[in-house]
A and B are shown apart, each in its own frame.
Chain A
Amino acid sequence: MQRRALVALAGAGLIGAVAAGGALATSTTPGQALPSMTGDLKRRAAAFPQPVRVGDLAGRAVLGPMEAQPLYGRVDAPPVVRGADGTLFLVVTRAGWLGLGAWMGLGGTPAAVPLDDAALLGEHIALVGLTRAELDALPSFRDAGAAPVPADTVIRMGIVGPFH
Chain B
Amino acid sequence: MIRSPFRPQAVPDAGILDNHRALVRQVTRRGMFRRGISLGALTMLTGCNLSDDASVDAALRAVSAFNDKVQALLFDPNKLAPTYPESMVLKPPRFNAYYPIDKVRPVDGATWKLEVSGRVSDRAPWTTARLAALPQTDMVIRHVCVEGWDYIGEWSGPTLKSFLHSVGADLNARYVAFHTADDYPSSIDMATALHPQTLLALTYARETLPDPYGYPVRLRTSTKLGYKNPKWITAIEVTNDYPGGFWEKSGFGWFAGI
Q: B3 interface residue, CB < 8 Å from A?
A: yes
How many A-B pairs with Cβ below 8 Å? Answer: 70
Greatest chain B CB density within 10 A among A35, A52, A53, A161 is at: A161
Query: With a CB–CB cut-off of 8 A, which chain A residues contact B84?
Result: none
Separation in Å of the A109 CB from the closest CB of chain B? 29
Binds B, one of A13-21, A88-96, A118-126, A129-137: A118-126
Given A47-B102, A48-B212, A123-B151, residue A161 in contact with residue B97 (CB < 8 A): yes
Does more than half of chain B's interface fall in helix, strand or loop, or is it mixed? loop
What B residues does A43 contact at CB under 8 A?
Answer: 102
Q: Decide if B94 touches A50 in the complex (CB within 8 Å).
A: no
Closest beta carbon of chain B to A56's beta carbon, Å: 7
CA distance A164 to B17 in the complex (A): 15
Asked whether, in the complex, the Cβ of B100 is within 8 Å of the Cβ of A120, the reply is: no
Q: Most chain-A Cβ atoms within 10 A of its Cβ — which of B93, B94, B97? A: B94
A142 within 8 A of B: no
Query: How many B residues, CB 8 Å from partner?
Result: 27
Within 8 A of B (CB), among A41-73: 43-45, 47-48, 50-53, 56, 67
Q: Is A147 an interface residue (CB 8 A)?
A: no
B3 touches A164 (CB 8 A): yes
CB-defined A-B contacts under 8 Å, sample of 9: A44-B100, A48-B102, A48-B210, A50-B92, A50-B210, A52-B92, A160-B100, A160-B101, A164-B4
Q: List chain A residues, Cβ under 8 A from B92.
A: 50-52, 120, 159
Give the Cβ gap from A154 to chain B, nearest Cβ, in Å: 9
Contact with A along B1-21 (1 / 0, CB 8 A): 001111111011000000000
Is B211 among interface residues, defined by CB-CB distance under 8 A?
yes
CA distance A36 to B12 in the complex (A): 8
Contact present for A161 and B90 (CB under 8 Å)? no
**Given the interface contacts A36-B11, A48-B210, does A162 sit within 8 Å of B90 by beta carbon?**
no
Query: What separation, in Å, do the CA atoms of A45 and B100 have in the docked complex?
Result: 9
Q: Mark B216-235, 1 if CB is under 8 A from A, else 0.
A: 00000000000000000000
- Which residues of chain B are near A122, meaning CB under 8 Å? 90, 93-94, 149, 151
What are the residues of chain B within 8 A of A48 when measuring CB–CB? 95, 101-102, 104, 210-212
Interface size range on A against B: 20 to 34
| Extra inter-chain contacts (10) besides given A159-B95, A162-B4, CB under 8 Å | A34-B9, A48-B104, A50-B92, A51-B91, A52-B92, A56-B91, A122-B93, A123-B94, A161-B94, A164-B7
User: Which B residues are in CB contact (< 8 Å) with A52?
Assistant: 91-92
Q: B147 within 8 Å of A by Cβ?
A: yes
Q: Does B96 contact A (CB under 8 A)?
A: yes
Q: Is the CB of B4 within 8 A of A159?
A: no
Cβ contacts under 8 Å, A47 to chain B: 101-102, 104
Instruction: Give CA–CA (A120, B95) in the complex, Å.
Output: 9
Checking A44, A67, A123, A163 against B90 with a beta-carbon cut-off of 8 angstroms, the contacting residue is A123
A44 touches B151 (CB 8 A): no
For B97, give the chain A residue with the smallest CB separation.
Answer: A161
Pairs A-B, 10 closest by C-beta atoms: A164-B4, A122-B94, A47-B102, A50-B92, A44-B102, A36-B11, A164-B3, A164-B7, A48-B212, A161-B96
Name which residue of chain A comes closest to B2, CB basis. Answer: A164
CB <8 Å contact, A44 and B11: no
Query: Distance (Å) between the CB of A145 and the closest chain B CB?
Result: 30
Inside 8 A of A35's CB, which chain B residues have their CB? 11
User: What B residues does A44 contact at CB under 8 A?
Assistant: 100-102
Chain B residue at minimum C-beta to C-beta distance from A164: B4
